[in-house]
Structure 1
Amino acid sequence: MAIDLRKWSLMICLSLLVLQVPGVTPGLAQTSTPSYQVFAFNDLGMHCYDSDFSVAAVLPPYNVVRAQVLLKGQHPQFLDPAQVKLSYRAVADPTGSINRTSVNKTNFWTYVQDLFGVTLAVDVGVKGYRMPGSANRAQLMAEYDPQMRWFGAEGIPITAFDDAGVRNTLPLMQVRAQDKATGTLLSSLKTVVPASDEMNCSNCHVTGGIAANQATVSRHGLTRPWSANPDLGLQTKENVLILHDGINRTSLTANQPVLCASCHYSAALDLAGQGPQGAQAGKPQLSHAIHTRHGKTIDNALPDAAHPAIIAANNTNACYQCHPGQVTKCLRGAMATANISCQGCHGGMLAVGGFYNLRTTGQPRQPWKDLPKCQSCHTGDAVSHAGKALVLRQAYVTSDPAATPRNAANKRFAEENNTLYRFSLGHNGVACQSCHGSPHAEWPTRNGTNDNIAARQIQGHTGPIIECASCHGNNLPRTINGPHGLHNINDPNWYDGGHESFAENNRDNCRACHGQRGEGTALSKVAAARVLQSEGQHSLAKGTPVSCNLCHENPL
């Protein structure tokens, strides 16, 4: 049972002709120029794939890398394919782990024809992009979106195991920008290309578990015995098919391998953006079916205090039962370091499953489209924001069972209108992800992850890209027109006597981040240790709020 991707075959064949970058020798060190900066990021912060494809599959190995390239200056310029070519290749992380090839790491290519209707060479993904291979040959990022002004490589078939067979779900690729005419390396960046095969239903569906026991047989009148496969992963998948067949009168067990999305539409696999087709019509979307069923009781009723949901916990570990996972811990960015759970942004199982209608649209949540927003918690600045706290810890009001994302009145930290964070552009067209990192991996990420490497490479420390020199070099005049209304950062031309005229002309600009009286707020914390020379020398530890009375007697 497959989704037919044969319409992509011509594109794949053409891609294979152009994806390898000529003139780049594997392992050859090249020095980039400080006049350029490449920003690279993954679109989701984590990509899941099945650990085995012989029985059933949810997702293939499929990763997305995007990148923007700037010529630095007072007015930075975006570079396009007429000026620059971008490529990716594997690079070792600080532990020495490197992931150049997916050969012998998955059985995906054995079953890709049955599942997806295409024939692919090993190390080639469903959209034609390759792994660099054992020779680590640079692969061209052949896509370019002129509206987003970013280059892309969609469908890189990376796995969660490095070339030594060691699990590494956060491997690194080096994205390289080269002059189109000369091949000179202009800039490069190490970015995480995450992958995990921890999608796991065995907590309940292994034989003898709560969803594969005699009580389940009696409840649904099943006639087929539970799987006795010695491989617990395969046993679990076989039991899921047995249960599905018994409840829905399907014949999945007899038609392995099964692609779940062949019947239950998933936007993640709708490469052409066509919506539900064929057997998918009239059936619940995959996300709706899975989340709603597991958000109800074992008897498929709404849960209450006496009758808990199948997955009842309201914390990140509940999500890690299926999403990656107890090992990967894919929620690792700024929300994780602030101890905000998955539910704080997304809501509970029934909310994610679209069981309740959103307050904004009056319709069920659409998977992959109706998602939480930055502005839902970052509702404004120190002068104007929703609620008592400057930054909220839940993206929706507690009384709303649909967890409808909050829309802020103050748009200082909002995405573009009706646009997800991962597709939003901010300061003069720079992608939000270029400065803040990938979803679920916003800088700073949890200690010990590889994600922080890119931020340190760009600006010398982790956290959102805040150093003006990252894009402007040292040529930026005094301004308050930076991202989100920022002034010059870490610039003596600003803090050593240059900012008074700005403060005197419009004190509210200062109050927005430094507080009503200039007392300092979370928005004025220094992103790294600083030494400021202004009416004396002031040494500030990272995270210290900058207040007016650090240097002056009078607050705003």
Structure 2
Amino acid sequence: MKKALTAAVLAALAVGACTTQEEVAQQEPAKTEKAHAEAPVGTKMYGGPEVTTDTSKPKNDYNITINYELGMHCTGFDFTYCCVLPPYNSVQSQIVKTATGKKKYPEMLEADEKDPGVVVDGKKRFKLAYGFVDNTYSEGNKLKYWDVPYDVNGNGKYEKDENVANAYFTHLYVYKDLKGTNPKNTSADKEKAFVGMQIPVPRDNGPAGAAVPSPMSGGHLHYTGEKGTMVYTKSPVLENVPIVLTNPGIWDALGLPLTPFTDRTAAKDLLTLVESDIQPFQENWVSLVDADSGKPVIDSHSGKPITFVGTNPIDIPNCSNCHANETANGKKYNLYKQERAFWKGLGASDWIADLKATSVSILEMHDDHNGTEFMKAYDPNSRATMNRLGRDPVLCQKCHGDNVIGVLQAGTHKDKSGKEKTIPPLTEAIHTVHQRKVPLPDSQGRSGSCQGCHPAHRYDGGMEDYPITPDGKNAYADADNRDASGGCYVGRDVHSNPNKDKDGVETDEHLNAVGEWLQANVSGIGNGKGGKGLWCTNCHNQLSRELYQRDNLKNAFAQTGDTIRDKSLDEIAKAVGVSKSE
């Protein structure tokens, strides 16, 4: 069923906030997709939203928004040794049929009730094809994930579909479908279908498997309906904890293994990739095609295929800046040197050799600090090019809890006194040790490790004014962290873009009392003060945790329930038990 939208909201809509209509000449279906995949990757300057002079006669027949809900996702691409997070980038869209007259409202189009892959507009039936410009595959020259063996069922043998890609999400399960259906109202493991086991993840696909295919190329978006996309996981005290992977009412390609390397870049040997090859803002396209023939649907205004583009962010963290040298290892840990020398001997670039060395450094230090034995069988004299650990790769979430991927159960370990202790969540473990050991302050005492560790690569591949030096120092130790160039934080409108109100986008502000205070006293952007914006710790601090603890949302999607976030500063201070000045 189609839903009418208010004319005030969407009648003048021509392009989504991060979406522009791409001009592609009419071609046959197969050739059209190839043109998208191999389109030149050039910077497209956004000139602001296009609004027709007569809002009752929009410029397009349909508008397609493109979104990725997790912000700047960062992951490694080499899972042969270890990795903190799996690849996981979704394509999320909505399609709006524009108004056709003064008394015709725009309509949000939904799916055929019997086929979630078909868009219905009256008697017309379409599909939403999707892909990435010059990024049509991952496994191989861009990613080592499916080709890395992992004993998923733990029987000591490598069997069909036993690899890291199928090992990462085995904590997630369904009973019947991705809508949370549980026909027998049970929690018995024998009734569950686990991701990566009963539901193997196809190569270059998202974790939903064959049930809802999400390939890197040649795929179509699926509609999430009224319930969204839902799986289950276990918690320490509960079975069947629902995890909503995609909200209701979204056209979705779930959890694609996207990398920041284009096809053109990856045409060379993976070992020769360099850091400037990283392209963290991948161009994503969604096209409206005929459901039966696959031919492009032509816009009646422009005479061109209806295709929109957006940005899908993916980057690689900066661990090697410290862990591939003495900054992290000091004189005590030395195995990284042998690992680096091995890969350099095979012709690897300095960056790739550093990434390999970093994995060994992290695992050696983890063993020393926590009593694990990840490096027990490591053979520095081995000539193996897949894995020299003498064991399966180390997946952090097999021991640590991690809300990001829905691992709610953590393992236990014995400390040096022999006491059994719960292993801390992954984010707590990583952030605690790095904030204590390497806060990397700037001249104002603000930690630079936020953007020093989290990735900050740029669209143009440039490394000048990068926030962390090659040997793991804060490049702005004597200056201001916010002066760094680009990346996932600096330059973003919501954080620190001094040109927010004059760069052609003019992003609106939606501030509560805390946000208004930060704008007036810290940011100085959007109020004529010419400031530099916020820094990470202005929001990621104790207050944000206090606010979160007092949220009692009945429905996060509908934003119903109780919160103190919309109260005055006086009311918020009273609720968290501090004075307004504190």
* TM-score (normalizing by structure 2): 0.48
Give the structure-1-normalised TM-score. Answer: 0.50
